[in-house]
Structure 1
């Protein structure tokens, strides 16, 4: 009996959403159906969606209680204990051998197979084909990854009861507009757990704004057309500001005399100025001459526990596709491997503590009490949190790592 009780306790502690699981699900389901009828349908109708389209979309849809970040009516929003999205986990784990090598090898094959479409898109947008390939590979395995969810189930559930309900409700209306216009082939309205569609994994609103016809058939088909997928990714980056005269960034060595707290897109200076501080390319090669007077930003995704980079404004264009530093870094790195044959980063990913998001959030609140700007106590170690940790460590005479650790929690909770 004791073993069974302990097992049950462990299961309950592992559930990521706490109070969300204590609600009357049947009652919430009824509220969801009322919400669809009384709130979503009038909004959809106003956006040009016909009743048959709406009814077909929701004919078999029920709430999906397995999705992350749910906040059912009557429950309190809490941070999930762990973050499911890989982009916000341990930095080194994101660059595992299988993911990097798989995206690279398949990317090289795709570069040959779709050379014409890639060259055409690069000429039109200025976005390098290798970058488009790396995004395509990361998002859907070059169209090979099975997309698991019904988009209306995902967006309906998250639009009704998630921490970002308003955002997902808008995406739900956009998905209905896509269905109404007949953009997607039959049975193709499948999505990720967040509601992203097709081979480039566009959110529905991004499809409506940025999907492009790359093969000239008059349709933007990001589900079946590789040329349309390539054109859409390139167009998305171009319209978010990709500068064809710049690279995305360079791995660098950062001497101990340069503070890791200098990280961030609001602390940029020219590469020439970074060089004057003692920062050099990790490869030992010189920076390209045309880059040296351009602005660059220090980026250390694991603080002193991993590789360091000087990144250009194009790096932050990549982050418009996915807000994670690790995602943008993966795309740039894999793209370079595809085209230039570069090897692994020269800087090693050091070991970092496995931490709960709630623990990181507690540390962030401790830093906020000390007047450090962490960008919000969200439990994620973004650049503002990393450099605030570094500044706090410098101010208190500690070893400066610019990355959270379990030992910091007690100190910052005081």
Structure 2
């Protein structure tokens, strides 16, 4: 073989080896890597946190990575580019409030309100959180416990701590799950979760379980999988931890005159509710704001800008967002709670035909606004209140009617 041919051959072999080394590992190889990671990486840290080898081995007995879970990055691969998404934030927010979905929570909530009246009254007395709020969260999260928890929490959390896009987050949760078992708060066999690793009927991540789960039925065990009193009181304790204000609701649906800019939205632009009222904002249905609320702080909330219902939210609305960071989730819980307490009645305002944007469209719009000096929070493709009000400010500055919600024409204008 000539020197030239040897050079070509060596180059070919090197290229082939590079391809083979970069290729995604087989499932069997990933299993082996997972076991090595458990013993050489996770176990030393778990040991320093007081986890026994018996607990550790029991938790991972027979556990393999679940490669069907979302947001994984296989060894040898790079994170995939996000595909088209269909969450409520990317279509019309009205889809999130489909009557069938809301009514399932409200009708189920009323049934369970009667069946658990004494428990709910005792919880409200201790924590100050109304029963209908707890029922709405319970219904939304797991259909009042009817939703199955088909996953082993250690399989989910272990997989995600090993090869997900949020390894650090899930590593913390995995170690917390081990602590739950180590402290005898739940046996390994009871640690059933959602595909995201959330536990039990309240859907607590393990760190939230350790902070907020309580034994309210007095049986000496914290059981958020089977005990209704423990489930409801744990939700209440969670909300109180994040600042639930006793004696206040979550907010009121209102009408906002054109003279009030939708760019005034947000929890950092609060005013006394009497001031909002003085600007012409009124409760729907001809109702007055409660006298006890007039001197208290409220916040303008317009989840679809001018293309949907508007609200004056209380600080408790933002406590609900601690359960799930979506404005629409918190609004669903507040609205559902109102309907459980007062009967089924939809919003007075209607949701306009807005949305139908990809997350990448909204992210591009956010980056364009940032380049012009606007604070959109972050260019994450989620049209939160900072993005919505920045849109409104840009529209006003450029002689357009402020809508405070992204649309295709706006994306094109700002490119």
TM-score (norm 1): 0.90
2:359 corresponds to which residue? 357
Q: How many Å apart are 1:209 and its aligned residue? A: 0.8
1:41 aligns with 2:43: yes
1:388 corresponds to which residue? 390
* Cα separation, partners in 2 of 1:412 and 1:31, compared to 1, 3 Å: farther
- The partner residue of 1:398 within 375, 392, 400 is 400
Q: How does 1:47-126 map to 2 (within 5 A)?
A: 47-77=49-79, 80-83=82-85, 90-126=92-128
2:138 corresponds to which residue? 136
Q: Structure 2 CA distance, aligned partners of 1:75 and 1:272?
A: 57
Moved more, 250-259 or 51-60: 51-60
2:241 corresponds to which residue? 239
CA deviation string 1:329-353 (max 9, x = no partner) = 1111111111111500000111123
Q: How does 1:1-400 map to 2 (within 5 A)?
A: 23-26=24-27, 27-77=29-79, 80-83=82-85, 90-184=92-186, 187-400=189-402
Q: How many Å apart are 1:185 and its aligned residue? A: 5.3
Q: How many Å apart are 1:188 and its aligned residue? A: 2.6
CA deviation string 1:123-169 (max 9, x = no partner) = 00111111111111111111111123221222122222333321111
How many residue pairs are counted as aligned between the two chains? 393
SS of equivalent residue, structure 1 residue 251: strand
SS of equivalent residue, structure 1 residue 250: strand
Q: Structure 1 CA distance, aligned partners of 2:89 and 2:148?
A: 19
* Structure 1 gaps, min length 5: 1-20
2:4 corresponds to which residue? none
Q: Structure 1 CA distance, aligned partners of 2:316 and 2:366?
A: 28
Larger Cα-atom Rg:
2
CA deviation string 1:323-378 (max 9, x = no partner) = 11111111111111111115000001111231221221111111111111111111
Q: Structure 1 CA distance, aligned partners of 2:46 and 2:261?
A: 52
Q: Structure 2 CA distance, aligned partners of 1:38 and 1:75?
A: 22
* Cα separation, partners in 2 of 1:372 and 1:251, compared to 1, 3 Å: same
Q: CA RMSD in A?
A: 2.0
CA deviation string 1:166-223 (max 9, x = no partner) = 1111001011111223323563322122211001111100101110111111111101
| Displacement over 6 Å in runs of 4+ | none
SS of equivalent residue, structure 2 residue 40: helix
Q: Is the 8 A contact 1:252 1:279 kept in 2?
A: yes
Moved more, 179-188 or 31-40: 179-188
Q: Is the 8 A contact 1:87 1:327 kept in 2?
A: no
* Cα separation, partners in 2 of 1:347 and 1:361, compared to 1, 3 Å: same
Q: Is the 8 A contact 1:88 1:324 kept in 2?
A: no
2:3 corresponds to which residue? none
CA deviation string 1:30-52 (max 9, x = no partner) = 44333222221111122222223
SS of equivalent residue, structure 1 residue 327: helix
Q: Is the 8 A contact 1:158 1:168 kept in 2?
A: yes
Q: Structure 2 CA distance, aligned partners of 1:348 and 1:309?
A: 13
SS of equivalent residue, structure 1 residue 297: strand
Q: How many Å apart are 1:305 and its aligned residue? A: 1.3
* Structure 2 gaps, min length 5: 1-21
Q: How many Å apart are 1:78 and its aligned residue? A: 5.3
Q: Is the 8 A contact 2:92 2:352 kept in 1?
A: no
Q: Structure 1 CA distance, aligned partners of 2:201 and 2:265?
A: 33
* Cα separation, partners in 2 of 1:300 and 1:370, compared to 1, 3 Å: same
CA deviation string 1:196-254 (max 9, x = no partner) = 10011111001011101111111111011001111111111112111112111000001
* Cα separation, partners in 2 of 1:180 and 1:91, compared to 1, 3 Å: same
Q: How many Å apart are 1:299 and its aligned residue? A: 0.7
* Cα separation, partners in 2 of 1:90 and 1:55, compared to 1, 3 Å: farther
